[in-house]
Amino acid sequence: MIRQFVFALILLLAAAPAVAQKQDGPPPQVSAGSIVDLGVVQSKYADPRRVVVWLPSGYKTDGPKFSVLYMHDGQNLFDTKTAGYGMEWQIDETLDRLIREKKVRPTIVVGIWSTPKRLQEYVPSEAFNGLPASYRQKVRALYGGDPLSDGYLKFLVRELKPMIDRRFNVRTGPADTTIMGSSMGALISLYAIDEFPRVFGAAGMMSTHWPLVITPDNKPISDEEYEAVSSAFERYLSPALPDPGSHKLYFDHGSETLDANYARYQDRVDAVVKRRGYRQWSSTLSLSFPGQKHNEISWASRVAVPLQFLIGPTPAPSAGRRQ
């Protein structure tokens, strides 16, 4: 019993460093741009959760429209005081700078708080269903039940996105709608673009938690379990990946702490992505960052890379034909 408790505790701390926070309290404070606090947003598909919207310093309610970046674990994006471990992604400083430098097009960020059901909401149910029964039971026991990801995505697509589209000066098509997260948040981002390719045109997956579970001593799971998990993701992704001609995928991982376990899983996924027709540095980007860990400090240090790849600058207007 003690061993099982320690196992579960390590999973929650290591695989989910973005701990679910209280849904009330003051909104995050930002160093660049401004925050619009939508408060606790109700849903008929998922548990209520707090949502905040970050607006860059050049945001205007009229004129040119802005792109939208949806990010999970919203409490960890902007302010150390709301972040689960006193660490934040520094999204406000980084994205505001990239916009001013014209390295990404003007973009707002929708920060979606996680809840106590984070693990259930972020695990892709279709991939979970492809796992062996024994592994599904292990995931179910540690996560607190069956996946709730389908309901969470319905909340994003059917309720939250229409709210954002109505209230803010934004472009609404998939070419201007990106979704991104880390760890389990990376898994749900990939699931979102797979299941709703007409909604999301790009997805960023940082330090993707492919194994779903870890051992108490943070060592890799057995080769048999590795094969079962990798095969389940391969079977799901092969038919589910969206069109590489109109979508972008970003993956990365470090080499320390929990990230040390991810490389062999990512290699398998990269092969599936390549067979689908994605090309490195064009429609997909998969990178390794030696020395980086599984935490917000590491993600903040490299988040400019996926932002520039997935969002990119505003395309220059095409020159008119000479007469």
Q: Using alpha carbons only, how large is the chain's radius of gyration in Å?
A: 19
Asked if residue 57 is part of any domain, the answer here is: yes
Kindly report, residue by residue over 94-141, the tens digit of the pLDDT.
999 999 999 999 999 999 999 999 999 999 999 999 999 999 999 999
Q: For residue 144, what pLDDT is reported?
A: 96
Residue 34, sorted as left (phi over 0), alpha (psi -120 to 50) or beta, turns out to be beta
64 found inside a domain = yes
Question: pLDDT (tens digit, 9 = 90+) per residue, 22-35?
Answer: 677 788 999 999 99
Please state the rounded mean pLDDT for residues 144-152. 98
Residue 316 lies in a domain: no
Amino acid at 201: G
- The answer, yes or no, to whether residue 18 has pLDDT greater than 50, is no
Examine residue 199 and state whether it is found in any structural domain, yes or no: yes
**Domain count of the fold of the chain:** 1
* Mean pLDDT of all residues belonging to the chain: 91
* Residue 217 belongs to domain with CATH number: 3.40.50.1820
Residue 255 CB neighbour total at 10 angstroms: 14
% of the chain exceeding 90 in pLDDT: 84
pLDDT at 27: 87
Give Cα separations from 31 to 35, 57, 229, 259, 303 (angstroms): 10, 10, 41, 29, 17
Which of 18-27, 70-79, 182-191 is the least confident region? 18-27
Examine residue 319 and state whether it is found in any structural domain, yes or no.
no
Q: Is the pLDDT of residue 78 over 50?
A: yes
Let me know if residue 318 belongs to a domain.
Answer: no
Q: Structure pTM? A: 0.92
Distance CA 192, CA 188 (A): 6
Rounded CA separation 37/28 (Å): 9
Q: Is residue 22 part of a domain?
A: yes
The average pLDDT across 31-54 equals: 97
Q: Is 232 within 8 Å of 192 (Cβ atoms)?
A: no
Most confident stretch, 31-45, 219-233, 308-322: 31-45
Residues of the domain holding 183: 2-310
For residue 147, tell me if it sits in a domain.
Answer: yes
